[in-house]
Amino acid sequence: MMKLRKVLWIATALGVLAGVASADPMRTVFTKENKFPGALKPELSLAGGGSSYDADEADADVERFFVAPGLRFGLTDRLAVLAAVPYAGYSEGDLDEKGLGDVEVGTEFLFFEDIFEYAWIIPHATAILATGDEDKGLGTGETQGRFGISVGTTTMDVLHWAVDASYTLNGAEADAEEFAEDGDERDELVTGALSIVWDLDERSSILGEVQVRDDPVDEEEDDYALRAHLGMAYKVNENLSIMAYGGGASAMAEDYYGMGRVVWAF
Residues in the chain: 266
Residue 186: the pLDDT is 66
Alpha carbons 187 and 208: distance in angstroms, whole number:
28
pLDDT tier at 258, thresholds 50, 70, 90: very high
Q: Where are the domains of the chain?
A: 25-265
Question: 0.75 exceeded by the pTM?
Answer: yes
Of the listed ranges 27-41, 99-113, 180-194, the least confidently predicted one is 180-194
CB neighbours of 173 closer than 8 A, spacing ≥ 6? 186, 215, 217, 225, 252, 253
Alpha carbons 242 and 79: distance in angstroms, whole number:
23
Give the pairing type, strands 144-155 and 120-128: antiparallel
Averaged confidence pLDDT in the chain: 88
pLDDT tens profile 120-136? 999 999 999 999 999 99
Per-residue pLDDT, averaged over 79-106, amounts to: 96
Residue 21: the pLDDT is 43
Question: In the chain, pLDDT over 90 holds for what percent of residues?
Answer: 77
pLDDT tier at 14, thresholds 50, 70, 90: very low
DSSP state for residue 20 in the 8-state scheme = H
Alpha carbons 60 and 82: distance in angstroms, whole number:
36
Residue 115: the pLDDT is 93
Give the CATH class of 25-265. mainly beta
H helix or E strand, kind and range, residue 178: helix 176-182
pLDDT tier at 177, thresholds 50, 70, 90: very low
Strand partners, 54: none
Q: Is the model's pLDDT at 74 over the cut of 50?
A: yes
Residue 82: CB atoms within 10 A of its CB come to: 18
Alpha carbons 253 and 113: distance in angstroms, whole number:
37
Q: Is the model's pLDDT at 245 over the cut of 90?
A: yes
